[in-house]
Structure 1
């Protein structure tokens, strides 16, 4: 009896073809004529061993009488899979290129292949099926040197050239996706070498640039090469006949922008996309019905390219234009234009958020998701990637609105989809999975699930490290973002040394990127510098901490002056951090000034959006409360710390896991202020509240252990001051029995 694979639960079996091939291999290998397949042979390889026997038997029949060895027969089957043939003449021309095939047998070999795998319709050749087996076979024969690829391309018609390149590109992706990266590299190298000496016909370039799988980082360089060649050809044709050929030039320019961006060449991508938009604008002005859909595609692409260049205001403007046109088109023909409308809405949500228009951003992101849910319900294979993108975007927008529970739910749904898609096609979807995992880490951290957050972020960093090693220009920004997020998660897990290392790596990347393109990368550099200042302070390196925090504030002041709605929250965060570090450095007057500025910003923001900004206001109020007594303003200090306690108390009632540690910190600050004023009994009660809250979370949030030690040491002092020595001694014993780990910073 045949048993199912032991790992049938694996994601790869979600692919029906993989499941069917695995089942067929098991059936054949338990049949009367099993083949000698080495352990670990992929299903495609085992099926081809069975096909070998069929080829040899068929070739020797009276109908064909082909006296060829198994290698040449296999190479002929590979040529049919690579090229196909519409006519007998096309078939004979390409099969004649095989070095092991005598010229007088070329026509017979072509006839044998036509009989072996009959074609559908009026084509002469069919092909080995399923496609994955054909692609695997063709690539392996190519790697063995049995097919002269340059000669094959030279002999082929434009349609055959396009099919050859497409089949090999798909085989390279399939090899990569199943861990055969060396085979993938060899196939792509062989294809590049052949293209160096054998340029493709114009029609072949048109066909193959449409047929190449997208997205796929494995074939990104190949896709760029072919799209650049097509654009160059279209430019020459448009110079000869502008009226007929300008649309093709604009279309290839738009595609070239996407391909250039894919490999990290963003400045060039912007230039060609702007050129495409200029052509489409002119064409659409003369014939809107014919060219407006193409114009909106290019406008949407231009929005992405402008954002990559840091020109976010312009990105927002052109994307709003694309949405306006696509709304009109979708109203008249939803089936055709709704997918495009959803794509533009999704981009618009991002640019609106970056412009600080968060309420509008949330609205359009929800609209994009509603469309994509409907589309994915009808056609999951086509629209699930778009659905997952919108879910991830919505998670970020909901978090900004303070709706963190909903944000986590949709982000988890996005990750589940990307995991499934990336398991089946890592070449296409691993970058999306890594992005979604990084977002999930942030959402889990916001929900107080810090261990799960750390795990998700570590998975994201591992993927980005691998991707950035192959293509730094494309993936280093993502790696730096994920490293910065990882630093936060490591700090919350009590791993301060590792947190500092991760953030230093992120800052090093952002500095290099910002030196080349400040408009794009300075906001990210400032974010990483702000985090680095915190980790350096926790490591006791206060002078360095102050230096990098001042640098972060300087960058963010400049950004907020140009766009307050987008950058004021970041400025207030850095000001709050700077206030704490100036206070530690003894520069208390300056500390108080910047902390008051931070509180003023947070008050204004929290008045407009309490859910998003009240936690930050409360943190800043506690910082202010700690600094006011140094200026002799103790009464004001008690007032603002009481306000902070009340905010945290309200927030912690709704989400204890996230906000109780913050409430404990607010109680600690208040207790210290009360103690300064000799209200020792009241201070002890506040300190007891803090201790209770910290104890509740110390097992799940290791980073609060140093804070618990600080609070308990203060509690000892208060108990001694009140003459309660026995209770003070009990606390001292607990501290002695539960020392801090060596890596902790108290």
Structure 2
């Protein structure tokens, strides 16, 4: 779209403006946990990278019975998976291109052999000269950065990430932005997970914005038919028979391998090990179910503790070790001080000397994998999960009596009783993660322990991140009553880790509510709430559909029950719909919707009665929304009148944080309108007031208000540019770009388009200062973002993409600074 170059009233550049959020939840602020990046504080780093251990495993002859199943000891020769190994070797050896970073997800249920396959692949990579690192989802010191030239390209780096579906989203994003993964040579990241769900869909999109290619592959059963199972069973039994003393090979009983339960590597090896061990006692019954097989090994663990006590290798009684093992299964491994707090809270030891003694004895039984950590869980993890499930009541296996103290131990760890706040949060997250995994396979753990704990304390729902919560809400025994208790404690604003699961929770709640003959008031509220969750998750079209339904329900409510409350409800729905329409650039329709909202609210807020004050803030926010929509449709004089009225209403409030947020947003929008009217000096002064408010708020809550500060800074830069103060414009725009880059690493869906807008503006300033190479680069980056989004929604983004490409063409054609055509974009375009 061309403009008259002599028109002084057209402002120079994009602006991403704020309209408040008390009603619309827009533009969404972000609260992300997981890492600190730049100036944006979004939690604590909770991962580390270590070099993959080299050297031979422990001698198999020194291992306990259960340890023979642990994948890290590689007792049974690696068999099968030829297709998967060939595919991974091809992936490793693909032609090198600079910036070559690829991520592959391998997913399958537990026990399918993911870890053994990854370890085998790691050895292949190391033999080929690749550096191999393992990512750990726990705090601790990482290995020092690799020595040598970081730009070498004659070898690559392979990073192994296990249990990717258990990592909080922020931690995974922090890992993928680690400087070691952005070096000169090729990088491969192999992610292992039990489940493929929304966590991967969201991460996959985000990785692609970083320029990382992604693939996923489901690991099929190792032994899909009986013949394969028998072959692998006999190979494992032969190996175990060579290690377990006093075996009678003629007494080894082969279970019914036609059962699909024996389709995994772990269950076949479990069956082989138990059959071999049981052959030593021909008169005793051989366990015939997987539960009894796990129980057989767990009984041997207790016998191991008793032998160590009898031999004076430990001093703790089996009852004490039992409690320590349960705590380790739920919360370990952890640093020493955390381990002490855990055992002290569950009553597993008395006094510091008693706790130290018990920790030392547990380490004797279960040596930690990593120096400095304690409470190593039972391995393989399926054995530990079976131990926990059988310790808890309700499973019905009479031969494995539950521990009477087990439920209390779980509840104590979920509460974090007697622990410092940070320690309690760490323990709570780990405990909830393990419980959710066990509950997916053992129904009594879900119905008897996990879900009752959530009903008693719904805040637990957010303790371990969105991926874990998604597993919980997918449990068959989760009902809408529990979801209704969980939904209010989910982050109300954008949160990268919870947006998708919050949307899914609300979808089920709304479906249940609408299945009944709801009052139109409740229908309107349900559609507004669901639409907000959809908008937070980035589903703009679906959010608009919910806004339309909310308006229809609001109309019905007002028609059936005319009153101030129903009038305000309809106004709220119309106000929200204005944001949703603007989010897909339907500005005229957005204006009409907000105009009607103002018409409904005006008599309520301006009435002299005592109720008028309760409507003043929402009326001010709706006026601010209207001012922005008027500006979008080029009615700038009217927009200024409305915007000043909104500012006046916010200024006259009690001075709360809510009022400050509203005032800062209204001032930012007013500055945009003043710029459109050609009053650049006033516009700069106005937006500087907003900037001061956002800086003050973001000092207290950076993860909430940094996005709003970035919006205001972009507007400040534009105003400087309009006044010819290009050096100042560059400095302020670079600060805005820096914040947006951090935010995009946390949630590309929410912030990538805003980043593109600010990049385009900064490109224009740099071009006019003669910094042409930088200008080209930034404009090309903005073009790439808009092109990607335009492919998904050409109607909404084709105009912006066309303008960017016209700017690039103008740059290439001219040797002097181009007169770049720029335009204003409000936050409602992308962030409602």
The TM-score, its normalising length taken from structure 2, stands at 0.48
Which residue of 757, 779, 783 maps to 1:503? 779
- 1:572 corresponds to: none
Once the two structures are TM-superposed, the CA of residue 358 in structure 1 deviates from its matched residue by 1.0
Contact 2:458/2:486 (8 A) holds in 1 = yes
- 2:454 corresponds to: 161
Q: Give the distance between the partners of 1:163 and 1:442, measured in 2 at CA.
A: 51
- 1:316 corresponds to: 591
Are 2:711 and 1:435 equivalent residues in the alignment?
yes
Contact 1:392/1:414 (8 A) holds in 2 = yes
Q: Please give the residue correspondences for 1:206-221 in structure 2 after superposition, counting only pairs within 5 Å.
A: 206-218=484-496, 219-221=498-500
- 2:480 corresponds to: 202
Which residue of 227, 250, 256 maps to 2:506? 227
Q: Give the distance between the partners of 1:344 and 1:390, measured in 2 at CA.
A: 10
Are 2:535 and 1:261 equivalent residues in the alignment?
yes
Q: Give the distance between the partners of 1:12 and 1:455, measured in 2 at CA.
A: 18
Q: Give the distance between the partners of 2:799 and 2:757, measured in 1 at CA.
A: 11
Contact 1:349/1:362 (8 A) holds in 2 = yes
Q: Please give the residue correspondences for 1:563-582 in structure 2 after superposition, counting only pairs within 5 Å.
A: none
Contact 1:139/1:168 (8 A) holds in 2 = no
- 1:452 corresponds to: 728
Q: Comparing both chains, which one has the higher relative contact order based on Cα–Cα distances under 8 Å and sequence gaps of 6 or more? A: 2
Contact 2:454/2:461 (8 A) holds in 1 = no
CA spacing shift, 1:490–1:349, aligned 2, 3 Å: same
Once the two structures are TM-superposed, the CA of residue 495 in structure 1 deviates from its matched residue by 0.6
- 1:274 corresponds to: 548
Residue 288 of structure 1: SS of its match in structure 2?
A: coil
Rg larger in structure: 1
Q: Give the distance between the partners of 2:615 and 2:495, measured in 1 at CA.
A: 27
Q: Give the distance between the partners of 1:133 and 1:387, measured in 2 at CA.
A: 39
Are 2:655 and 1:359 equivalent residues in the alignment?
no
Contact 2:416/2:428 (8 A) holds in 1 = no
Q: Please give the residue correspondences for 1:651-690 in structure 2 after superposition, counting only pairs within 5 Å.
A: none
Are 2:479 and 1:479 equivalent residues in the alignment?
no
Once the two structures are TM-superposed, the CA of residue 315 in structure 1 deviates from its matched residue by 0.9
Q: Give the distance between the partners of 2:600 and 2:485, measured in 1 at CA.
A: 29
CA spacing shift, 1:506–1:104, aligned 2, 3 Å: closer
Q: Give the distance between the partners of 1:45 and 1:370, measured in 2 at CA.
A: 55
CA spacing shift, 1:107–1:435, aligned 2, 3 Å: closer
Contact 2:578/2:589 (8 A) holds in 1 = yes
Are 2:436 and 1:105 equivalent residues in the alignment?
no
Q: Give the distance between the partners of 1:159 and 1:422, measured in 2 at CA.
A: 38
The TM-score, its normalising length taken from structure 1, stands at 0.53
Contact 2:687/2:716 (8 A) holds in 1 = yes
Which residue of 552, 563, 566 maps to 1:291? 566
Which residue of 737, 743, 746 maps to 1:461? 737
Residue 538 of structure 2: SS of its match in structure 1?
A: coil
Which residue of 298, 303, 312 maps to 2:578? 303
Are 2:428 and 1:138 equivalent residues in the alignment?
yes
More strand per residue: 1 or 2?
2
CA spacing shift, 1:300–1:420, aligned 2, 3 Å: same
Once the two structures are TM-superposed, the CA of residue 154 in structure 1 deviates from its matched residue by 3.5
Once the two structures are TM-superposed, the CA of residue 205 in structure 1 deviates from its matched residue by 2.5
Q: Give the distance between the partners of 1:156 and 1:292, measured in 2 at CA.
A: 45
Q: Give the distance between the partners of 1:47 and 1:400, measured in 2 at CA.
A: 60
Which residue of 652, 658, 665 maps to 1:389? 665
Q: Give the distance between the partners of 1:390 and 1:516, measured in 2 at CA.
A: 31
Contact 1:153/1:198 (8 A) holds in 2 = no
Q: Which moved more, 1:447-456 or 1:437-446?
A: 447-456
Are 2:605 and 1:327 equivalent residues in the alignment?
no
Are 2:617 and 1:342 equivalent residues in the alignment?
no
CA spacing shift, 1:388–1:149, aligned 2, 3 Å: farther
Q: Give the distance between the partners of 2:560 and 2:662, measured in 1 at CA.
A: 33
Once the two structures are TM-superposed, the CA of residue 350 in structure 1 deviates from its matched residue by 0.6
Once the two structures are TM-superposed, the CA of residue 166 in structure 1 deviates from its matched residue by 3.7
Which residue of 516, 526, 532 maps to 1:252? 526
Q: Give the distance between the partners of 1:253 and 1:284, measured in 2 at CA.
A: 16
- Structure 1 segments unaligned to the other structure (5+ residues): 1-9, 16-36, 62-66, 72-93, 118-124, 173-186, 557-565, 568-746
Residue 486 of structure 1: SS of its match in structure 2?
A: helix
- 2:682 corresponds to: 406
- 1:82 corresponds to: none
CA spacing shift, 1:338–1:205, aligned 2, 3 Å: farther
CA spacing shift, 1:126–1:484, aligned 2, 3 Å: closer
CA spacing shift, 1:279–1:149, aligned 2, 3 Å: same
CA spacing shift, 1:283–1:53, aligned 2, 3 Å: same
Q: Please give the residue correspondences for 1:657-736 in structure 2 after superposition, counting only pairs within 5 Å.
A: none
CA spacing shift, 1:159–1:429, aligned 2, 3 Å: farther
Q: Give the distance between the partners of 2:470 and 2:636, measured in 1 at CA.
A: 46
Q: Deviations over 1:172-229 (max 9, x none)?
A: 6xxxxxxxxxxxxxx3222222322246422332333233222133221122121112
Residue 222 of structure 1: SS of its match in structure 2?
A: helix
Q: Give the distance between the partners of 1:394 and 1:96, measured in 2 at CA.
A: 63
Contact 1:353/1:397 (8 A) holds in 2 = yes
Q: Please give the residue correspondences for 1:617-656 in structure 2 after superposition, counting only pairs within 5 Å.
A: none
- Structure 2 segments unaligned to the other structure (5+ residues): 1-37, 44-138, 143-333, 352-356, 363-390, 826-832
Q: Give the distance between the partners of 1:69 and 1:474, measured in 2 at CA.
A: 46
Once the two structures are TM-superposed, the CA of residue 497 in structure 1 deviates from its matched residue by 1.6
CA spacing shift, 1:259–1:68, aligned 2, 3 Å: farther
Q: Give the distance between the partners of 2:681 and 2:339, measured in 1 at CA.
A: 54
Residue 103 of structure 1: SS of its match in structure 2?
A: coil
The CA RMSD measured in Å over matched residues stands at 4.9
Are 2:355 and 1:55 equivalent residues in the alignment?
no
Once the two structures are TM-superposed, the CA of residue 306 in structure 1 deviates from its matched residue by 1.2
CA spacing shift, 1:454–1:369, aligned 2, 3 Å: same
Q: Give the distance between the partners of 2:737 and 2:401, measured in 1 at CA.
A: 51
CA spacing shift, 1:211–1:514, aligned 2, 3 Å: same
Contact 2:341/2:419 (8 A) holds in 1 = no
Once the two structures are TM-superposed, the CA of residue 534 in structure 1 deviates from its matched residue by 3.7
Contact 2:737/2:758 (8 A) holds in 1 = yes
Q: Give the distance between the partners of 1:127 and 1:337, measured in 2 at CA.
A: 43
Q: Deviations over 1:84-115 (max 9, x none)?
A: xxxxxxxxxx99699999532258769x96xx
Q: Give the distance between the partners of 2:695 and 2:590, measured in 1 at CA.
A: 30
Contact 2:39/2:739 (8 A) holds in 1 = no
Once the two structures are TM-superposed, the CA of residue 47 in structure 1 deviates from its matched residue by 9.8
Once the two structures are TM-superposed, the CA of residue 55 in structure 1 deviates from its matched residue by 2.7
